[in-house]
Amino acid sequence: MAGQLFGYFGAAAAAGSLLQLNADRIHSAFGIALMQASGTMQVVHGGDPPAKAIYGAFPNHGGLLAALLSKAGLDGKCDALEGVAGLYEMFYGGEYREEALFENLGRKSCVYTLLLCLFFLIFGTLILRFFGVSLAMVRIAGGIVLLKIGFALMSSSPPKNSSADGGRGQDTNIAFMPLAMPLMFGPGAIATVIGMASTIKHSPAEWSDFAAVVAAIFATMLVTYLCLIYAGQLSKKLGRMGIDAITRSVGFFVSAMGVGLVFDGFIEALESHGVTTLH
CA pair distance 35, 66, nearest whole angstrom: 9
Q: Which of 26, 270, 277 is nearest to 139 (CA)?
A: 270
Phi-psi region of 93 (alpha: psi -120 to 50; beta: other; left: phi over 0): left
CA distances in angstroms from 36 to 12, 63, 80, listed in the order given: 11, 9, 11
Confidence (pLDDT) at 163: 37
Confidence category of residue 89, pLDDT binned at 50, 70, 90: confident
The residue with greater pLDDT, 63 or 48, is 63
Q: For residue range 121-136, what is the model confidence (pLDDT) as tens digits?
A: 888 778 777 877 777 7
pLDDT at res. 132: 77
How far is the C-alpha of 160 from the C-alpha of 96, rounded, in Å? 26
Q: Full-prediction pTM beyond 0.95?
A: no
Q: Who wins on pLDDT, 41 or 37? A: 37
Please say whether the beta carbons of 33 and 80 come within 8 A: yes
Is the torsion defined by CA of 189, 194, 199, 200 positive or negative?
positive
Q: What's the pLDDT score for residue 122?
A: 84
Summarize pLDDT for 250-263 with one digit per residue, the tens. 888 888 888 887 88
